[in-house]
Amino acid sequence: MRHCYNSELVILSSHRQAWQQHSHFPAQALLLESHDTFLQGGADFAKRLDRIESGQGLQARQVQRFADRLASEFHQWQWSMRCHEKYEESTLYPFLRRRFDLDCGALALDHERLHELAARCETSLASAAKELKKGRSSFALARRDLQRYREELARHLIAEEGMVVPLLLSLTSAEFTGYLGAESCAQSE
């Protein structure tokens, strides 16, 4: 079976091409690096899950250890995702509302949906690891949940970048610097 783990990254780079000629790109295009890291993280989890499920070149003990680790690392990974979302909801979205009258409510709802899908992933990854201890290999649900999560994440990131990045690029350099100054104050609270 052939996998393309990075297809979301390819889609994202093609929708970003339009901005690359802008004189404020990449300096004022916030979010993109974090988004790349998140997509890469999702692809890495999918790759690791496939390797665990196939068991190729692994001893049973390693398969169990890797399965346990995958479940706990997915949970930890969500922490950095939540920090990013918190920054967006508490600082970036309100700024865009004030400056451009942009309603980012749909993006905040996406975050809620992603939390639900992430919770499903955590449950199914933990349960697959538990089943493995009983000698049963059942990763299908975890694979499906992870795939859904990755698809929803990519959809959200594309929508978010499409709404946010052109507006950030349209700011004068002085305005953008002013926003960054306010941003760091907000984060130190």
Sites of contact with Fe ion (CB under 5 A): 31, 88, 160
Task: Give every CB contact of residue 109 below 8 A, 6+ residues apart in sequence.
Answer: none
Q: How far is the CB of 19 from Fe ion (least distance, A)?
A: 16
Please return the burial class of 39, using the count of CB atoms within 10 Å of its CB with bins 0-12, 13-18 and 19+: buried
Rank residues 32 and 58 by Cβ distance to Fe ion and give the closer one.
32
Q: How far is the CB of 136 from Fe ion (least distance, A)?
A: 37
Rank residues 122 and 156 by Cβ distance to Fe ion and give the closer one.
156
* Three-state SS letters, 96-126: HHHHHCCCCHHHHHHHHHHHHHHHHHHHHHH
Three-state DSSP class for residue 171: coil
The DSSP string of 140-162 is: HHHHHHHHHHHHHHHHHHHHHHH
Q: How far is the CB of 31 from Fe ion (least distance, A)?
A: 5
Rank residues 29 and 129 by Cβ distance to Fe ion and give the closer one.
29
Q: How far is the CB of 126 from Fe ion (least distance, A)?
A: 25
Rank residues 3 and 82 by Cβ distance to Fe ion and give the closer one.
82
Count other Cβ atoms within 10 Å, centred on residue 105. 10
Q: How far is the CB of 152 from Fe ion (least distance, A)?
A: 11
Rank residues 80 and 177 by Cβ distance to Fe ion and give the closer one.
80
Round to whole Å and give the CA distance between 77 and 99.
32
